């Protein structure tokens, strides 16, 4: 559901399901406001009608009881209104936050590529908070203010029309001034929120990269950077507060002038006996309740501008199209053969130059295709097309004879297992990390056999809590190679039809690599595999090796074929064998 452009309508929609409760809150506040006016009118009745008629004790009791009842109604309902408003505002914002989180998770890779995490955090936290304040304080305050104004203004008009009109002469001016500030504050608050997003980004990046910062001893630089951004936020915050502090006194002066003027006029009329003393007393009580709302209306309008800006900031994210992962083709028995054909495929990120050009190859079910090439040649980009992380821009990819972009992305991602180049582990137990991708109960045996296959079982058992060991924030307690192997186990347990291994053995030693390679070779049997590796040893057995350079396939063939021809492959091979030979002789020479 697209959030409406009109901000008030959008905010109204957020209230869905709680509108009745909210309405009740407004009705309560209305009755409470009316009771407050009733107070003044009761006073007038007492002064004008009861006092002159030589009252008896029972009259006083009646009057006192009346005041008490009114006080209870006013206070009780104001309280009830606050409770109802708080309840609905907490609930709607909790729901909105959940919805926003879910939505963010469903946005495409391309969206996340260009949207900084800190910005999204700000939108999920402080912008949602501004919306909460709108419902719990501002909207209900607005209802209260309008009610107070309407009831008291009408009451004064009924008492005396001229008096009524004199009490509001300055109001158009006050509204105008408030509107001016509303516009200014909107602009400044938006800049302020943007700066807050920048600041959270700086913080987030720093926390994620804390090791790099320390390793390069860049703390002073990072501190200065943070202080600079923080200073900018301070300046913008100051501007915002300056706006508020200019607005409050100016509206107060106008309101004060109006009050003095109204009271003065009323007093003159009472002296000239145009109105009774009781009416004057009632009027003196009520004019405050006309001016007070107007003064607060200004404040509210100005405060509301923050909610409006925040609504826009949240709605912009919500307007982003979700990745339609559920729609699309799913084979009848939900099975894949794993026959993959790239047919003159080209791809570029956003508006950038092509990263892959004219890629064609075929992978029969169960075959292993290896991708080799220098860094930045497009290997990761190529494999990312298969689970539809990104959409290819030209050519065709066929999976079991059906064009890839027809498939449901969810289905593909369940059937395709990826070991990413930089695997990410969650701050949960190792067990939870391994079973992350399976949507069913798994037995300990299954988990262990996956871990064994990934050559990580023994290492896990050596941890104090075994499989229940918590992985630290971003997997700090595990070494790079261990993390990678947990990621391999996580993929294996999914039992995917198509396996994608991105450089998954680069951060392990030669011995472990051999163990993993052995395990993987077993696992690759019967699965279509795309394997990216830097070491020729890892790809020797592949059915087809593609050598990539700047997004083009420059060589293709089996190991034997490629070794026999002049080219990049043979050069890499020669280089790697020489390095290994030298290493070996160095070790044996010692």
Ligand X SMILES: Nc1ncnc2c1ncn2[C@@H]1O[C@H](COP(=O)(O)OP(=O)(O)OP(=O)(O)O)[C@@H](O)[C@H]1O
Give the binding site for ligand X (CB under 6 A).
Answer: 113, 349, 352, 355, 373, 375-381, 421
Min dist CB 397 to Mg ion, Å, is 19
Q: Please identify, among the stretches 6-14, 21-29, 276-284, 419-427, the one whose residues bind Mg ion according to the rule CB under 5 A.
A: 419-427
Residue 416 phi/psi, 5-degree rounding, is: -105, 130
Of 152 and 381, the one with the shorter C-beta distance to ligand X is 381
Rank residues 202 and 380 by Cβ distance to ligand X and give the closer one. 380
Nearest approach in angstroms of CB 548 to ligand X is 7
Token pair listed for 524: 């690759």
> Which residue, 313 or 413, is less far from ligand X as judged by CB?
413
Residue 391, CA distances (Å) to 54, 317, 344, 407, 541 in order: 91, 21, 14, 12, 30
C-alpha dist (Å) from residue 45 to 73, 148, 190? 19, 20, 51
Residue number with the smallest Cβ distance to Mg ion: 380
CA–CA dist 357, 499 (Å, integer)? 23
Query: In this structure, what DSSP letter does residue 423 have?
Result: -
Which partner, ligand X, Mg ion, none, binds residue 433 by CB below 5 to 8 Å per kind?
none
Residue 252 in tokens: 């107060």
In the complex, least distance from residue 355 CB atom to ligand X, rounded to whole angstroms? 4
Please choose which of ligand X, Mg ion, none residue 505 contacts, taking the beta carbon within 5 to 8 angstroms, the exact cut-off set by kind. none
Question: Pattern of binders to Mg ion over 421-450, x per CB under 5 A?
Answer: x-----------------------------
**Residues ≥6 apart with Cβ < 8 Å to 21:** 84, 87, 88
Longest dimension (CA), the chain: 124
Binding to Mg ion, residues 461-500 (CB under 5 A): none
33 touches, from Mg ion, ligand X, none (C-beta below 5 to 8 Å by class): none
Residue closer to ligand X by CB (options 66, 354) is 354
- Sheet with 402-403, side-by-side order of all strands: 356-363, 340-347, 394-399, 402-403
In angstroms, the CA 380 to CA 373 distance is: 11
Closest approach, Cβ 361 to ligand X, in A, equals 16
In the list ligand X, Mg ion, none, the entry touching 457 (Cβ below 5 to 8 angstroms by class) is none
Q: Among residues 86 and 421, whose Cβ is nearest to Mg ion?
A: 421
Q: How far is CA 74 from CA 33, 79, 81, in A?
A: 7, 9, 11
Site string for Mg ion, 362-381 (x = CB under 5 A): ------------------x-
Size of the site for Mg ion (CB under 5 A): 2
Residue 504 interacting with Mg ion (CB under 5 A)? no
Of ligand X, Mg ion, none, which one does residue 186 interact with (CB within 5 to 8 Å by kind)?
none
Distances (CA, A) of 276 to 267, 271, 539: 10, 9, 102
Phi-psi group of 358: left, alpha or beta (phi > 0 → left; psi -120 to 50 → alpha; rest → beta): left
- Report what 376 binds from ligand X, Mg ion, none; CB cut-off 5-8 Å by kind: ligand X
Q: Could you tell me the two tokens for 272?
A: 């000239």
As a whole number of angstroms, the distance between CA 254 and CA 284 comes to: 18
Q: Residue 448 is encoded by which pair of tokens?
A: 């262990």
The site partner of 355 among Mg ion, ligand X, none (C-beta below 5 to 8 Å per kind) is ligand X
Nearer to Mg ion, 293 or 417 (CB): 417
Comparing CB distances to Mg ion, the nearer of 127 and 502 is 502
Whole-number Å distance between alpha carbons of 318 and 542: 45
Q: Which does 113 bind (CB under 5 to 8 A by kind): Mg ion, ligand X, none?
A: ligand X
CB of 487 to ligand X, least distance (A): 16
Extract the runs of DSSP E, i.e. beta strands, from 348-468: 356-363, 368-373, 394-399, 402-403, 416-419
Least distance from C-beta 453 to ligand X, angstroms?
24
Radius of gyration of the chain (CA): 36
Among Mg ion, ligand X, none, residue 377 binds (CB under 5-8 Å by kind) = ligand X
Per CB under 5 A, residues contacting Mg ion are 380, 421
């Amino acid at each position: 559901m697209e959030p409406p452009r009109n901000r008030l309508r959008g905010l109204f929609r957020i209230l869905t399901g709680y509108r009745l409760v909210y309405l009740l809150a407004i009705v309560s506040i209305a009755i409470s406001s009316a009771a407050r006016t009733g107070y003044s009118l009761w006073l007038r009745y007492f002064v004008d009608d009861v006092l002159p008629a030589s009252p008896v004790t029972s009259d006083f009791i009646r009057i006192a009881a009346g005041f008490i009842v009114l006080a209870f109604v006013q206070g009780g309902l104001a309280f009830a209104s606050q409770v109802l408003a708080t309840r609905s505002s907490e609930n709607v914002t909790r729901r909105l936050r959940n919805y926003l989180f879910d939505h963010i998770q469903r946005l495409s890779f391309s969206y996340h590529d260009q949207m900084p995490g800190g910005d999204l955090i700000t939108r999920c936290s402080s912008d949602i908070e501004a919306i909460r304040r709108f419902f719990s304080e501002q909207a209900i305050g607005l209802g209260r203010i309008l009610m107070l104004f309407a009831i008291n203004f009408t009451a004064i008009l009924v008492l005396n029309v001229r008096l009524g009109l004199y009490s509001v002469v300055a109001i158009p001016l006050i509204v105008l001034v408030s509107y001016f500030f509303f516009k200014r504050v909107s602009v400044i608050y938006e800049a302020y929120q943007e700066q807050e997003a920048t600041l959270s980004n700086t913080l987030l990046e720093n926390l994620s990269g804390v090791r790099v910062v320390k390793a390069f001893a860049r703390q002073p630089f990072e501190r200065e950077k943070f202080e600079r951004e923080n200073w900018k936020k301070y300046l913008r915050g100051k501007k915002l507060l300056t706006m508020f502090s200019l607005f409050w006194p100016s509206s107060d002066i106008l309101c004060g002038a109006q009050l003095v003027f109204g009271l003065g006029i009323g007093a003159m009329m009472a002296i000239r006996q145009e109105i009774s003393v009781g009416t004057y007393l009632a009027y003196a009580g009520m004019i405050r309740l006309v001016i007070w709302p107007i003064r607060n209306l200004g404040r509210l309008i100005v405060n509301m501008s923050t909610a409006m800006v925040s609504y826009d900031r949240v709605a912009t994210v919500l307007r982003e199209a979700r990745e339609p992962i559920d729609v699309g083709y799913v084979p009848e028995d939900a099975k894949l053969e794993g026959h993959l054909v790239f047919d003159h495929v080209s791809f570029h990120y956003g508006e950038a130059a092509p990263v892959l050009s004219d890629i064609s190859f075929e992978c029969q079910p169960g075959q292993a295709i290896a991708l080799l090439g220098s860094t930045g040649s497009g290997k990761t980009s190529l494999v990312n097309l298969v689970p539809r992380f990104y959409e290819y821009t030209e050519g065709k990819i066929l999976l079991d004879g059906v064009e890839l972009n027809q498939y449901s992305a969810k289905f593909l991602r369940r059937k395709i297992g990826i070991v990413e180049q930089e695997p990410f582990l969650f701050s949960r137990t190792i067990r939870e990390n391994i079973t992350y991708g399976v949507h069913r109960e798994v037995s300990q045996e299954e988990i262990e056999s996956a871990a064994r296959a990934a050559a990580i079982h023994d290492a896990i058992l050596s941890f104090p809590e075994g499989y229940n060991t918590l992985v630290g924030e971003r997997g700090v307690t595990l070494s790079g190679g261990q993390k990678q192997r947990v990621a391999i186990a996580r993929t294996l347990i999914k039992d995917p039809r198509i396996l994608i291994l991105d450089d998954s053995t680069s951060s392990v030693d030669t011995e472990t690599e051999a163990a993993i390679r052995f395990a993987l070779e077993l696992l690759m049997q019967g699965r279509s595999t795309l394997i990216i590796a830097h070491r020729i040893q890892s790809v020797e057995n592949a059915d087809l090796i593609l050598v990539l350079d700047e997004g083009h396939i420059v060589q293709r063939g089996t190991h034997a074929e490629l070794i026999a021809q002049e080219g990049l492959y043979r050069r890499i091979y020669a280089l790697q064998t020489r390095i290994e030979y030298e290493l070996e002789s160095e070790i044996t020479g010692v």
